[in-house]
Amino acid sequence: MDNEKRKLPEAEADGVIEGRNAVIEALRAGVTIDKIYVMKGETDATLGHIASTARAKGIVVVDADRRKLDGMSRTHAHQGVIALAAVRAYTTVESMLRTAADRGEQPLLVVCDEISDPHNLGAIIRTAECAGAHGVIIPKRRSAGLTAVVGKTSAGAVAYMPVARVPNIPALLKDLKKQGVWVFGTAADGNTTLYGADLKGPAAIVIGSEGDGMSRLVAENCDFLVSIPMKGRISSLNASAAAAILLYEAVRQRMG
């Protein structure tokens, strides 16, 4: 018991909140929570209350088996529920577009289509901040969120770079296009070369998932599919590297 008590503050400092009472208190205190993982198939009333309270607050609730929860646990006393705190609150896409307008700049957004590796997401946020992008957008599900690992990997950039979370990426892209933003997706078989893409106007750069790239519906909602020149024997780049290449091509064009 004493060992568990000593481990708990360290776990919470990492944004991992374990156990029923701890998660209930975090919800009650208004802690910004990225996701809550609840034991799959569990019919316990307390866990049901946690899940319904979280959903009412717009928090993503994920059904997880015991092996998943045991692997995430630092205290080995998760009681069937683990919450991951967010290192900062999410913002909205509208506020990103407002920021660009207030600065007299063309919007430059990064849209992450199911980037599940928190190190990749942290690196993308860091590069987006360095490149002067106005925001990063991620889906609510099947994506890393603003967890402590992402914050650390971003080297502090998460404190400055607005991140929005949306329920549906294809719907977001349709809405951005209605607002005059051009959507550029990265694809090995793209119909536009990197150096032929005009990134000077309002632009959203879409980065596909690490394994499968962009989903079909996301790709169909891009105005341009951009291919990055590949001169070596390996045919694809890390997601965060691809984001950096497109962002800095946009920077180059906008400085010209």
For 15-34, how does the pLDDT look when each residue is reduced to its tens digit (9 = 90+)?
Answer: 889 999 999 999 999 888 99
CATH 3.30.1330.30 spans which residues of the chain? 2-85
Q: How confident is the model at residue 7 (pLDDT cuts 50, 70, 90)?
A: very low
Architecture label for domain 2-85: 2-Layer Sandwich (3.30)
pTM of the model: 0.85
Residue 213 reports pLDDT greater than 50: yes
pLDDT over 70 (residue 202): yes
Tell the burial category of 118 from Cβ atoms under 10 Å away from its Cβ (0-12, 13-18, 19+): buried
**pLDDT value, residue 237:** 84
Name the CATH architecture for the domain at 93-255: 3-Layer(aba) Sandwich (3.40)
Residues of the chain with CATH 3.40.1280.10: 93-255
Q: Does 66 have pLDDT greater than 50?
A: yes
Mean pLDDT of the chain: 89
H-helix or E-strand spanning residue 138: strand 135-139
Q: How far apart are CA 50 and CA 35, in angstroms?
A: 12
